[in-house]
Amino acid sequence: MLFSDSYFVIEAANAYVLKSKGSKFLAYAYPVETEADIKNCLSELRKTYPDASHHCFAWVLGYDQQNFRTNDDGEPSNTAGKPIYRQIQRLQISNILVVVVRYFGGTLLGVPGLIEAYGSATAGCLAQCKIIEKKIMEVYQLSCEFGLENEIYKLCKQYSTVIVVNSSEQAFSAEIKIPLQQSTAFKAQIKLNYKIYLKYLGIA
DSSP code per residue over 146-192 = TT-HHHHHHHHHHTT-EEEE---SSSEEEEEEEEHHHHHHHHHHHHT
Same domain, yes or no, for 81 and 96? yes
| pLDDT score of 189 | 87
Angle between helical axes of 81-90 and 110-127 (0-180°, round to 10): 40
For 169, phi then psi, to 5°, come to -70, -25
Q: Is 74 helix (H, G, I), strand (E, B) or coil?
A: coil
The model carries a pTM of: 0.82
- Look at residues 79, 102, 133 and tell me which one is the last residue of a structural domain: 133
From the centroid of its chain, how far is CA 126? 14
Q: Note down the domain range covering 152.
A: 136-203
The residue among 37, 40, 43, 87 whose CA lies nearest residue 61 is 37
- Look at residues 133, 148, 172 and tell me which one is the last residue of a structural domain: 133
In-domain check, residue 1 = no
Same domain, yes or no, for 125 and 146? no
Same domain, yes or no, for 61 and 152? no
Per-residue pLDDT of the chain (204 residues; tens, 9 = 90+): 445 788 999 999 999 999 999 999 999 999 999 999 999 999 999 999 999 999 999 999 998 899 999 999 999 999 999 999 999 999 999 999 999 999 999 999 999 999 999 999 999 999 999 999 998 999 999 998 888 888 888 888 888 898 888 777 778 899 999 998 888 999 898 888 778 889 999 887
| pLDDT score of 2 | 42
- What torsion do the CA atoms of 166, 168, 170, 171 make, to the nearest 10 degrees? 10
| pLDDT score of 190 | 85
| pLDDT score of 194 | 72
In the chain, where do the E strands start and end? 6-10, 14-20, 23-31, 54-61, 67-71, 96-103, 131-135, 137-144, 162-165, 172-179, 196-203
